[in-house]
Structure 1
Amino acid sequence: MEDWLVMAFDSTQQALRAEMLLEYAEVEIDLCPTPKEITAGCALSIQFPQESLAIVREIVLQESVEIRGIFFRQAAGYEQIGLEEGTG
């Protein structure tokens, strides 16, 4: 799970909605506790492989899923990446 990203949420409702949408799109995901280094209003996060980032971004933007952010793990903690294509 080294190259997996974490998507954090402000509400459980949005986390569960994202889970449903991503599973429907057959994206490999894993529900997990939100890492303590990420400040979010919801204790649930979704992990997904880095290669699925494009489809995850597309679904979040198309379906207006409210997220705190998408993060990748670094030695010093978590770094947020941009939601729009090409930002980071």
Structure 2
Amino acid sequence: MDDWLVMAFDSTQQALRAEMLLEYAEVEIDLCPTPKEITAGCALSIQFPQESLGQVREIVIRETVEIRGIFSRVDGAYDNIGLEEETR
């Protein structure tokens, strides 16, 4: 699960709503405790495979799910990769 991303929330209600929406869309997810390195108002986070990022972003934006951020683990630290599509 090294290539999985973490989505953190400020409220349990939004975490559970995101879980329901992502499961409905058949995105592989894992509900987990929020890593202590990520400052968030909710103790629950959702992990998902990096290859599902596009689909997760689309659902979060379309359904206006309030999130703290989407984080990638790099060298033991978490980087917020945000919701905007990367332009390269």
Shorter-chain TM-score: what band? over 0.9
Matched, 1:27 2:27: yes
User: How far apart, CA to CA, are the structure 2 residues paired with 1:57 and 1:69?
Assistant: 11
Q: TM-score, normalised by structure 2?
A: 0.96
Equivalent pairs counted in the alignment come to 87
**Deviation (angstroms), 1:23:** 0.1
The CA deviation at 1:76 is 4.0
| Structure-2 separation of matches of 1:49 and 1:4 | 4
Q: What residue number does 1:80 align with? A: 80
In structure 2, runs of 5+ residues without a counterpart are none
Q: Residue in 2 aligned with 1:15? A: 15
Aligned-pair CA distance for 1:84: 1.2
Structure 2 distance, partners of 1:43, 1:77, is 18
* In structure 2, distance between residues paired with 1:82 and 1:13: 20
Residue in 1 that maps onto 2:51? 51
Q: What amino acid is the match of 1:48?
A: F
Question: Deviation above 2 Å: which 4+ runs of structure 1?
Answer: none
Percent of aligned pairs sharing the same letter: 84
- Which residue identity is paired with 1:41? G
RMSD: 0.9
- Please give the secondary structure, in 2, of the residue aligned with 1:72: strand
